[in-house]
Amino acid sequence: MPPSAQVNEQPQEVKRTPLQLISQGACLPGIPKHPTFALQRQWQLEKMALAFRVFARLGYTDGMAGHISVRDPENPHTFWTNPLAVHFGMLKASDMILVDYEGVPIGGNMSRPANAAGFLIHSAVHKARPDVVAACHTHSVHGMAWSVFGRPIEMITQDAAYLYGDAQAVYRDFGGVVVTQEEGDKIGAALGTKGKAMILQNHGLLTTGTTVDEACFLMTLMERACRCQLLAEAAAANGIPKVLISDASAKYTFENSSGPETLYWEGQPDLEYEEYLYTFPTIRGYSFGLYGCTDIDCLENESYHKKIKVLNGFKQEKLYNFNDLTFRVDLVGNDGNGDKNHYANLTATGWHALDQKPCAWGEFSVEFVWPQNGTCTCSGWGRAIGETSTTCRKGGQHLPIPTS
């Protein structure tokens, strides 16, 4: 080949996916897909319940306001939503209601109504945006505070860049509480064809996603972004200038950080933490294991009786289907003659807190032998949220066992 015909070939860089960009070593997998509609539906409903637990922990509850909707995988013209007037922190997968686009409940929990305003907002969003699987609406404090300005969140932080450009919308035509289809349709239209999140002026926040996980994470991100914006505005009012992220940098961040798979994984830490909290066995009276131990001074042969409401299991493989649940309590005492170990096992029947079945009751009478005038440290697994009649005597006085 003549020199003029030679081509200086350079190895081309393979473009990496957003998940590959954030993964050093093995790459995070994509969004899970389930082989049947029933499994996909149950997975979505459990994620929905966990998202509500996240919102409860973060303080997004506001009376009867606030809702999440999830499009049904088998019947996409219907969606699941939460019942009216139930605290976010109490919701389970079995509590959700399936409604059609006419607002008629057609499945799930039929014992309570859905939120009428929530239906009008979410039905409009799902009809206008077939790509949206889940939507969240809350009256979070900082979201409501920033909404009064009718302005989008500025590109002042890296997190704010997740909402760059058309991904963020503002609905400025507040017409009071949503009680008409017209108002709902206007909100749905204002989101646009690319909107992931929207500020409802004088009202609150709305986020969407291809998964509950994505919509939930965007809600927490948007609330934090509103808080940062309010703090930045307060500082700027005192003469401290704001430095905005450049348009090119904000766009680059958005393109590499705001895809469905990345946002799904962004949501996992909070959702998995909620599942983790409800994975351990729980008995009121002691704060166990990872939640800390309680030191109690007791007299020898002190005994106590527990009436335990079993809320959930303690092993990952038993989250959804198990019969016997065992609580182990290790008592370590020192009476001056060396450590003495005492063990007690409590067995009950129960199921996961997010399951559809009610909780089981078990009554147990357990006697622990305490060292004479010694100090006992109780440790084990779980956190105290059941019921008990436990007391401990110290110096002749009956004291309730500490609950934290």
Q: Is 11 inside a domain boundary?
A: no
Region 230-236 average pLDDT? 96
Q: How far apart are CA 26 and CA 184, in angstroms?
A: 44
Compute φ and ψ for 76, nearest 5 degrees: -70, -10
Mean pLDDT computed over 47-53 = 94
Residue 123 included in any domain: yes
Tokens representing residue 121 in the block = 């907002």
Q: Which residues make beta-bridge pairs with 79?
A: 71, 99
| Residue among 126, 124, 128, 100 at smallest CA distance from 114 | 100
Say which DSSP state 163 is in. G
What is the rounded distance in angstroms from the CA atom of residue 359 to the CA atom of residue 341? 32
Predicted confidence at residue 372, as pLDDT, reads: 40
Pseudo-torsion of CA 338, 285, 362, 52, nearest 10°?
-130
Model confidence at 18, pLDDT cuts 50, 70, 90, reads confident
pLDDT at site 242: 94
Tokens matching residue 225: 């972004």
143 within domain boundaries? yes
Q: What burial class does residue 213 get, using C-beta atoms within 10 Å of its C-beta: 0-12 exposed, 13-18 middle, 19+ buried?
A: buried
CB-based contact 58:220 (threshold 8 Å): yes
Q: How far apart are the first and last CA of the chain?
A: 81
Q: What are the beta bridge partners of residue 137? A: 67, 206
Query: Has residue 287 got a pLDDT over 70?
Result: no
Contact 386, 311 (CB under 8 A): yes
How big is the CA angle at 361 (ends 357 and 367), to the nearest 5 degrees? 150
**For the residues 205-216, what does the mean pLDDT come to?**
98
Which tops the pLDDT comparison, 335 or 211? 211
pLDDT in tens, 368-398: 333 343 333 333 322 222 323 333 322 223 2
Q: What is the model's pLDDT at position 21?
A: 86
Residues 197 and 329 reside in one and the same domain: no
Per DSSP bridges, beta strands 168-171 and 197-200 are parallel
Residue 146 pLDDT > 70, yes or no?
yes
- The answer as to whether 281 is a domain residue is no
Residue 118 and residue 261 in one domain? yes
Say yes or no to pLDDT of 281 above 90. Answer: no
- In-domain check, residue 112: yes
Higher pLDDT, 338 or 224: 224
Domain boundary (240, 274, 308) is at 274
Mean of pLDDT values over 244-268: 96
Question: Mean pLDDT throughout 78-90?
Answer: 96
- Characterize 161-172 residue by residue with b for buried, 16 or more Cβ atoms within 10 angstroms of its Cβ, and e for exposed: bbbbeebbbbbe
Q: What pLDDT score was predicted for residue 193?
A: 96
Tell me the CATH number at 150: 3.40.225.10
Domain containing residue 118: 18-22+32-274
Residue 27: both structure tokens together = 């790459």
Q: What percent of the chain has pLDDT over 70?
A: 65
Contacts of 247 (CB under 8 A, 6+ apart): 155
Res 320 pLDDT > 70: no
pLDDT mean over 224-235: 97
Question: Do 43 and 173 fall within a single domain?
Answer: yes
The predicted structure's pLDDT at residue 143: 98
Sheet holding 67-71, edge to edge: 105-108, 97-100, 78-81, 67-71, 134-138, 204-209, 197-200, 168-171
3-state DSSP assignment of residue 332: strand
Count up the domains in the chain and report the number: 2
The total of other beta-carbon atoms located within 10 Å of residue 10's CB is: 6
* Model confidence, pTM: 0.70
- Of 136-150, 179-193, 271-285, 344-358, which range is least confident? 344-358
Model pLDDT for residues 173-196, shown as the tens digit of each residue: 998 888 788 899 999 999 999 999
Residue 160 has pLDDT above 90, yes or no: yes
